[in-house]
Amino acid sequence: MLQRTKADHGAAHLEEKPAESRWHESQPHIVVVGGGVAGLIMATRLGDLLGRRGLARVTLIDRSWIHVWKPMLHTFAAGTSNIYQQQVSYVAHARAHHFEYIPGHLDAIDRTTRRVRLAAVRAGDDVAVPARELGYDVLVLAFGSRANDFGTRGVLEHCHFIDSQDQADAFNARLRAQVARSLATGDDIDIAIVGGGATGVELAAELSRMGELATGYGEADIRQRLRLTLIESAPRILGAFPEKVSNLVEAQLRDIGVDVRTGVKVVAADRGAYLLEGGQRVPATLKVWAAGIRASRSFDKSGLKLNNAGQIIVGSNLQAEDEQNIFAVGDCASLTTAGAERPLSPTAQVANQQALHLIRHLPAWLQKGTPIPAFRFHDFGALVALSEYNAFGTLGRFGFFKGGFIKGRFAQMSHAMLYRRHQLALHGPFRAGLLWLAERINALVQPTIRVS
């Protein structure tokens, strides 16, 4: 049972739990799976609120050893941001915020015994950490999502994905090799991106900016040799944005030399190109797939209710349907709010708000059995940044803002503030301020792109 404090001294029912307590141990064990935007904020805040006072044991599970803010992955892939400066070590962060970090990949969930099975962690051909099991009292699934290849032939074999730090690093290594080859041979660098959502659009712009910056490190004009193609099957890019934003972004991309193709479907990928419906080929030595979303397949045999994209269907209080001890937040969850026709979009804004909702109400649910209220999403607008070229977006309808369109420097600053708010949520104002200062100093002395 939970240790009682003055605040809950009157909750006598906590002292009267039967022998078959709903907690495995004297302290409830909260297991958060996935250290992305939502997962790391939850582990951090719950560690500070409950772990520090011994009111709960908080554990974070993630296959990586470091956290990076997913909306910045395209900048790491293009080499225009310093990934080593932006990453957060789970080990160090866990120690500072009173939770434990366990490296691992969720392999299965046993809802009857309330245990999760973790697959072995491998380092090359060796098993660094063997497969193991872990009990939970409360399980929060915050896996995020990945691009969906929809079973398209050749995509898994020949395309890069930009869904994790490792994938962004792998693409950047290939990109730098192609740039070096171009400098040596004079060949063009053909890059084609499938998916006209925010990731594909922002990656295309960032790669164009990389080409401009790279020119300063060699004799050749890399930007003139860089041929960028963005492919989208829908009638327009950025389908989740107002049409005005889509049109302006497309015009900006074309202005910086990106070949934008909408209303075309990719049916296959091979070593040197994408094959379009109708037989046309789009040559590309580097191919990126950034279309669709798909949640982790770790849920497929869990017995949890899933939608067609593999997302966990949750109720208004973010509990998985027909489950009492399992919650899901962020991209891996599918929530249709009251009165809405479709589920909430898988964005960092939604994930962050859902995490904060559980942080606010989970302690009372654990200690007193207070029901978790329905989650309410507040739309603060949406932004898309085209590197240093421009930014566009919309404001939410809240406070003094009544919606509306923004662009230019104000939109760029608003987009940058999203990451600063994330740092503030993780580190607090003092440390977040120091991190910002360190970034500004490094920007003065370090190369503007990754060159090695």
Identify which of 15, 60, 52 has the alpha carbon closest to the alpha carbon of residue 34. Answer: 60
User: In this structure, which amino acid lies at residue 282?
Assistant: V
H or E stretch at 323: none
Largest CA distance in the chain: 78
Identify which of 261, 279, 299 has the alpha carbon closest to the alpha carbon of residue 105. Answer: 299
Alpha-carbon distance 125 to 112, whole Å?
Answer: 34
Alpha-carbon distance 328 to 39, whole Å?
Answer: 10
**Radius of gyration for the alpha carbons in the chain, expressed in angstroms and rounded:** 23
Instruction: Walk me through the domains of the chain, giving residue ranges and CATH numbers.
Output: 6-146+294-368 (3.50.50.60), 155-292 (3.50.50.60), 380-445 (no CATH)
Task: Please state the pTM of the whole predicted model.
Answer: 0.86
- Using DSSP, state whether 387 is helix, strand or coil: coil
User: What is the CA 437 to chain-centroid distance, rounded?
Assistant: 25
Alpha-carbon distance 29 to 36, whole Å?
Answer: 20
The length of the chain in residues reads 452
Bridge partners (DSSP) listed for residue 102: 61
Q: Where are the alpha helices (DSSP H) in 256-340?
A: none
Give me the residue label for tokens 């699934």. 141
Per-residue tokens: 126: 């060796």
Backbone angles phi, psi at 101, to 5 degrees: -110, 130
Bridge partners (DSSP) listed for residue 268: 153, 275
Identify which of 241, 172, 240, 254 has the alpha carbon closest to the alpha carbon of residue 207. Answer: 172
Taking CA atoms, 27 is separated from 139, 286, 422, in Å, by: 14, 51, 29
Over the chain (452 residues), the average pLDDT of each successive run of 10 is 37 35 71 95 97 96 91 92 83 96 91 92 78 94 91 96 93 92 89 96 96 71 90 95 94 97 97 95 97 79 86 96 94 92 91 96 94 93 92 74 80 88 88 83 68 52
H or E stretch at 135: strand 132-135
User: 265 and 233 in contact (C-beta within 8 Å)?
Assistant: yes
Q: What's the pLDDT at 400?
A: 53
Taking CA atoms, 25 is separated from 22, 43, 94, 138, in Å, by: 9, 19, 21, 12
H or E stretch at 107: strand 105-110
User: 384 and 230 in contact (C-beta within 8 Å)?
Assistant: no
Q: What's the pLDDT at 295?
A: 83
User: What is the CA 129 to chain-centroid distance, rounded?
Assistant: 25
Taking only the tens place, the pLDDT of each residue in 222-280 is: 888 999 999 999 999 999 899 999 999 999 999 999 999 999 999 999 999 999 999 99
Alpha-carbon distance 224 to 128, whole Å?
Answer: 45
50 C-beta neighbours (distance < 10 Å), count: 24
Identify which of 75, 76, 83, 383 has the alpha carbon closest to the alpha carbon of residue 205. Answer: 75
DSSP conformation class of 50: I
Give me the residue label for tokens 């419906």. 277
Identify which of 177, 135, 128, 210 has the alpha carbon closest to the alpha carbon of residue 388. Answer: 210
User: 312 and 141 in contact (C-beta within 8 Å)?
Assistant: yes
Alpha-carbon distance 64 to 34, whole Å?
Answer: 9
User: In this structure, which amino acid lies at residue 65?
Assistant: W
Identify which of 69, 35, 65, 48 has the alpha carbon closest to the alpha carbon of residue 439. Answer: 69
Per-residue tokens: 264: 């075309």
6-12 long-range contacts, CB within 8 A, separation 24+: 8/367, 8/368, 11/367, 11/368
Q: What's the pLDDT at 95?
A: 96
Q: What's the pLDDT at 12?
A: 34
Alpha-carbon distance 289 to 160, whole Å?
Answer: 6
Identify which of 231, 248, 197, 247 has the alpha carbon closest to the alpha carbon of residue 71. Answer: 197
Taking only the tens place, the pLDDT of each residue in 69-88 is: 899 999 999 998 877 778 89
